[in-house]
Amino acid sequence: MKRCAYSGVTIEDLHIGSILTVYSRLLKIVDYSDVATRRKFENDRQRTFAMIKPDAYTNIGKVIDAVY
């Protein structure tokens, strides 16, 4: 397959685990190609995990408001 532009894929579609259809071929992204790509995408797609313990359930609205 020759290298050419394909307008059906956006940057939001490119993440590990996604399955893309390009010219009727299913392509699954399983890992980054190099360290520079890993750094770029991991910086752009950082995630945060928050755990609300049972004793804070009565204040869950305040907790969510504080996060946003």
Strands (E), the chain: 19-22, 25-28
Q: Which residue would you say has higher pLDDT here, 22 or 49?
A: 22
Tell me how far apart the alpha carbons of residues 11 and 58 are, in angstroms, rounded to a whole number: 40
| Residue 32 belongs to a domain | yes
Query: What is the reported pLDDT for 20?
Result: 93
What is the count of structural domains for the chain? 1
For the cut 90, the answer to whether the pLDDT of residue 40 exceeds it is no
Query: What is the reported pLDDT for 1?
Result: 61
pTM > 0.85: yes or no: no
| Residue 6 belongs to a domain | no
Parent domain of 49: 11-67
